[in-house]
Amino acid sequence: MGLRKMGPNKRNLAVGAVMALMTLGLGVAAQAQEMIRRIDNPPPGHPLPEIISGYEFRAPETQALQDDDFDNPGFLWVEQGEELWDEAEGKAGKSCADCHGDPAESMKTAGAEYPKWNEKLGKPINLEARINLCRTENMQAKPWKLESEQMLSMTSFVRTQARGVPVKVQIDGPMKPFFEKGKKLYYTRMGQLDMACANCHEDNYGKRIRSDMLSQGQINGFPTYRLKWQKVGSIHRRFKGCMKQVRAEPFKPGSDEFTALELYVAYRGTGLSVEAPAVRQ
Amino acid sequence: MGVDWKHKTIRACIGLGLGLGMSAMLATGAAAEGLVKYEVVDDGVPQSLTGKPGDAERGRKVIINRKQGNCLACHAISVLASEPFHGEIGPSLDGVAERYSEAQLRLILINAKAVFPDTIMPAFYRNDGFTRVMKKFRGKTILTAQQVEDVLAFLKALK
C-alpha cells in the first residue's frame, strides 16, 4: 500500500517490482537480527526503571507496517538514499561510496553512535551534521537542507545499515558538558503549558493523552515515517513538534541545543536496537 | 507500565502546605499585567474572577475544545462520554465537586501548581513565570477569567 500514496514520484510505479525485490533483500538480512525493544534492568544511575522502544506503544497495525519492509513507506527514502550513496557530486567529483565503500560494512554501527564528538568543531555533531561535513569538506558540494528529501533519504539509508545494533553514545570526557546541557533541557518546563519532556515521557509513558499513547520519546527509530506527515521526519523535527505542542518557542533544527538534547535522549535509549525507519501514527 | 499518579498523597498537601503558608496571600499572578486580581484564602480562591457565576454550557465547550481547556487530553469525564478520546494522565473528574469546594476548584484551575506542586497540569490563568513561550501566547493566559468561571460552573455539577 503506502508506496502508491507517496505522491508524484513516477519512479515508484515504474520500478515498483524491482524495488520490492530490493527492499525484501535488505529486509531479510536486517530483520533476521534480534531487535532489542525492552530493557528491564537499566544500568545504575539511569533515569528510567525500564527502557522501552516507541514501537511497543504503537497499535498493532502501525507495528505491522513497520515490520514489513515492503509495506513500510519509510523504505522509499532508504532506497533513494542508497542511490544517492553512489552519486558523485561537488567539485571533488566524489560520491559517499568513493570514500566509504560498502555501506553494509562501513556504516554498520554509525547509526547507533550519534551524536558523536567532533574534534575540529569542539562539540558533538549529529548524523545530519556529519553528512553535511562530508559534503562540504570531502566532496566540496553544497550542504543539504536539514529536512530536504536528500538529507532524509541519506539519514534513513545510513541508520538502516545499523538496524539491530544497540544505541550507544559517548557521554563522558568532552561530551560531558553537552550531555549535562541536554539533560537540563529535558527537565526544563517550557512554553505556556509549562511542561518538560520528562513530564510526558518519563512521568506518564504508557498512558493516553487524548488518543495518543505516550511513549518514552525514544529516538532509536528515526528517521521515522509518520502517517500524519506522510513522509519521514528527523529527530529535530519531532522535538520541534513536541515543543510547539506545549506552546514553547522551539529551538532551531540543527542547533547546539537540539543536538545536546538529542545526545541526552539517545543516552536514555542506551541498549535499544536501532530500528530505522520506524513507522508512527 | 508507567508511574502511578500520586493524587492521593498530593491531595494531603492542600491541607498542609497551602493551609499553612498561603492564607490570605495575594497570588503572585495578580500583580501580572492584564490579570484580574484575585485573593487566595487558605487553599482556594473564594471570589469569582468576574464577579458573577459562570455558564456551565459554555464551560462544557471550553473543556472539550483542544485549543482552550483541552481537559479531556488528560482527564476522563463520564458525562462527556460522547466526546472521543479521554486521556489517562490525570484522575477522572467524575464527582470532583464532592472532593473539592468551589474555592479549591477555582485555585486548581487558576494555577494547579499552587495545589499540586509538581503537577503536569497547566496553569490556566497565569501569564508569567514561563520559559520560551511562543510569541503568540506570550503574556497571555490559556483561558480568560470568564472561561475559568464557565469551566468551574461545569465542574460544580460533577457530583
Task: Look at residues A24, A89, A56, A22 and name the one whose alpha carbon lies nearest to residue A205.
Answer: A56
Tell me the mean pLDDT in the region B131-152: 98
Give the model's pLDDT for residue B33. 67
Phi-psi region for residue A109, left (φ > 0), alpha (ψ -120 to 50) or beta?
Answer: alpha
Q: Which member of A96, A99, A197, A242 is catalytic?
A: A242
Q: What whole-number distance in Å separates Cα of residue B41 and Cα of residue B51?
A: 16
Q: Looking at the partner chain, which of A52, A190, A208 has a beta carbon nearest the beta carbon of B131?
A: A190
Query: CA of B40 to nearest chain A CA: how many angstroms apart?
Result: 21
Q: Are residues A47 and A178 in the same domain?
A: yes
Task: Look at residues B109, B120, B119, B115 and name the one whose alpha carbon lies nearest to residue B59.
Answer: B109
A-chain CB neighbours of B134 within 8 Å are: 191-192, 244, 247-249
B-chain CB neighbours of A198 within 8 Å are: none
Q: Are residues A151 and A222 in the same domain?
A: yes
Which residues contact residue A54 at a Cβ distance below 8 angstroms, ignoring those fewer than 6 apart? A215, A216, A217, A218, A220, A221, A278, A280
Q: Are residues A116 and A6 in the same domain?
A: no
* B2 has pLDDT over 90: no
What does each C-alpha distance from A104 to A20, A82, A130, A159, B136 come to in angstroms?
A: 19, 11, 18, 11, 47
Looking at residue B98, which CATH number applies to its domain? 1.10.760.10
Per-residue H/E/C for A105-141: HHCCCHHHHCCEEECCCCEEECHHHHHHHHHHHHCCC
Give residue-wise pLDDT tens across range B55-88.
999 999 999 999 999 999 999 999 999 999 999 9
Give the model's pLDDT for residue A199. 98
Q: Are residues A17 and A55 in the same domain?
A: no
Residue with cell 497551602: B18
Instruction: Categorize the per-residue pLDDT at B18 as very low, low, confident or very high, splitting at 50, 70 and 90.
Output: very low
Q: Are residues A201 and A264 in the same domain?
A: yes
Query: CA of B49 to nearest chain A CA: how many angstroms apart?
Result: 20
* Chain A CA closest to residue B70: A210
Q: Are residues A21 and A73 in the same domain?
A: no
Q: Are residues A6 and A113 in the same domain?
A: no
Half-sphere exposure of residue A246: CA atoms within 13 angstroms, side-chain side: 27
Q: What whole-number distance in Å separates Cα of residue B110 and Cα of residue B145?
A: 9
Task: Look at residues A169, A128, A163 and name the one whose alpha carbon lies nearest to residue A268.
Answer: A169
* B21 has pLDDT over 60: no
Which residues contact residue B16 at a Cβ distance below 8 angstroms, ignoring those fewer than 6 apart? none
Q: Are residues A159 and A221 in the same domain?
A: yes
Q: Looking at the partner chain, which of B5, B89, B123 has a beta carbon nearest the beta carbon of A194?
A: B123
A197: annotated active-site residue: no
Q: Looking at the partner chain, which of A188, A195, A211 has a beta carbon nearest the beta carbon of B120?
A: A195
Helix H or strand E segment including A207: none
Q: Sign of dihedral through CA atoms A123, A125, A130, A136?
A: negative
Residue A4, domain extent: 1-30
Q: What whole-number distance in Å separates Cα of residue B122 and Cα of residue A52?
A: 27
Q: Are residues A73 and A203 in the same domain?
A: yes
Is A273 strand, coil or helix?
A: strand
Q: Are residues A106 and A141 in the same domain?
A: yes
Give the model's pLDDT for residue A35. 96
Number of domains making up chain A: 2
Does A192 sit within 8 Å of B133, measured CB to CB? yes
Does B123 sit within 8 Å of A204, measured CB to CB? no
Q: Which residues 226-255 of A are in CB contact (within 8 Å) with B?
A: 243-244, 247-249
What does each C-alpha distance from A141 to A28, A87, A151, A158 come to in angstroms?
A: 34, 12, 13, 19
Mean pLDDT of chain B: 85
Chain B residues with at least one Cβ partner in A under 8 Å: 1-3, 5, 66, 70, 72-74, 84-89, 113, 120, 122-123, 130-135, 137, 140, 142
List the beta bridge partners of residue A225: A232, A279
Q: Which residues 63-102 of A are in CB contact (within 8 Å) with B?
A: none
**Residues B132, A217, B135: CA angle, nearest 5 degrees:** 20
Give the model's pLDDT for residue A34. 85
Number of domains making up chain B: 1
Q: What whole-number distance in Å separates Cα of residue B35 and Cα of residue B56?
A: 22
Q: What whole-number distance in Å separates Cα of residue A79 and Cα of residue A21?
A: 11
Q: Are residues A21 and A109 in the same domain?
A: no
pTM of the prediction? Answer: 0.88
Does A192 sit within 8 Å of B130, measured CB to CB? yes
Q: Are residues A77 and A8 in the same domain?
A: no
Q: What one-character DSSP code corresponds to residue B72? A: G
Give the model's pLDDT for residue B32. 55
Helix H or strand E segment including B39: strand B39-40
Task: Look at residues A72, A126, A96, A147 and name the one whose alpha carbon lies nearest to residue A263.
Answer: A126
Does B1 sit within 8 Å of A205, measured CB to CB? yes
Q: Which amino acid is at B52?
A: K
What percentage of residues in chain B have a pLDDT greater than 90? 79
Residue B47, domain extent: 2-156
Query: CA of B31 to nearest chain A CA: how many angstroms apart?
Result: 18
* Low-confidence residues in chain A, pLDDT < 70: 1-33
B26 vs B108, which has greater pLDDT?
B108
Cell numbers that stand for A66 in this block: 513497520
B-chain CB neighbours of A204 within 8 Å are: 2-3, 5, 89, 120
Q: Does A38 touch chain B (CB under 8 A)?
A: no
Give residue-wise pLDDT tens across range A37-74.
999 999 999 999 999 999 999 999 999 999 999 999 99
Cell numbers that stand for A88 in this block: 558523485
Q: Does A189 touch chain B (CB under 8 A)?
A: yes
Q: What whole-number distance in Å separates Cα of residue A127 and Cα of residue A143?
A: 13
Counted across chains A and B, CB pairs separated by less than 8 A come out at: 80
